[in-house]
A and B are shown apart, each in its own frame.
Chain A
Amino acid sequence: MTLPPTPAQTVGPFYGYALPFYGGDEIVPATHPEAITVHGYVFDGAGAPVPDALVETWQADQHGSLAGAPGSLRHDPVTSTVIGRDGVRFTGFGRVPTDADGHWALHTLPPGAHRPGATPYLAVAVFARGLLHHLHTRIYLSEHADALAADLPALAADRRATLLATLERDRLYRFDIRLQGEGETVFFDFQ
């Protein structure tokens, strides 16, 4: 027996005071010596930046553990406002709204292999006004390009390249999300 799922609906334009939270973009502090930054833009089918998208990520820790930890939305015990992570426990969850220019940036640790031989990546969910049902993609760091090619051989090389975060300088990776059109990001349907 399976139940029919509740349908998805768009996140709309007004999630901004509800879903983003303090420190959502800092899975580890940006100053962590091993932190990497992944950043990019979300673009629509006309190549225009999308200023009202929300990017969420979930990943293994550096050792490949997917256990996660509570505390992404830690509250100040006095005021009850969200004050973010404690800087120690790795929750694995990131959430960042795009800026007015469609840009987002996330500070985290490079994920470890979640099983022996697995290619590590960040799982991504993308929400936006105009998007009736969110989308899933993956961020593979550029050093795993060959492993990604071996994992997804059926995907054309130019399509596969949309899943790669390119190294711009030490510890800074670029990952653009193109919702439609030329260079459209590969989105997945998990069956």
Chain B
Amino acid sequence: MSSRDAILGRIRRSLGASGSDAPRLAAVRHRLAETPVNVVPARGQLPSAERIDLFVRKAGEVFATVVRLGGRDDIPAAVAAYLRDRNLPQAIRRGDDRRLADLPWEREAQLAVTTGPSDGSDLVGLSHADAGVAETGTVVLTSGPDNPTTINFLPDHHIVVVDASTVAGDYETVWADLRRRFGAGVMPRTVNLVTGPSRSADIEETLLLGAHGPRSLHILVVG
């Protein structure tokens, strides 16, 4: 007998159940198809403006920095300003995502923009989030041909653009949106929920930022 059959057989024996029991199968099918929502905190259930405010406040509480921009065209200048403020070279790496490619980068003549996955030599990465979650100040990033995951982890500084209209109150709203875009039961290869910059408290329980991932997370909320 294969280990698979042995394990499943033992589980069924312990439960005193069978794998072809109709009510059990129906219960599982129902839950997987209907994806019922459990308890959702009231905290994020706010009208749009307050929801975005909560997102900004929560992101700040976990040591992310946040800047609000009036429109997409302000992004290149905001990126350049961030680099200047931190005495960083005017250079970033980003994916080919249209939402980042179609920006007036030419307005920042000094800024060198490279695209594609990171090999660990970039100081600053720029990504576009699919959503924000107000409940905890979290950004949601998905992988794809134009959105390398390495940019989210290897550079020292991670700048993330979030469309204000995509800031949800809770994770459940984001799941529903993923299902709409990718299909029920289908996920992009990688979905990263990022809440603040990388940290560790493994040495004497002292909280330090920048363990293996980015030392700083800078969020640009557009709109």
Do chains A and B interact in one complex? Answer: no
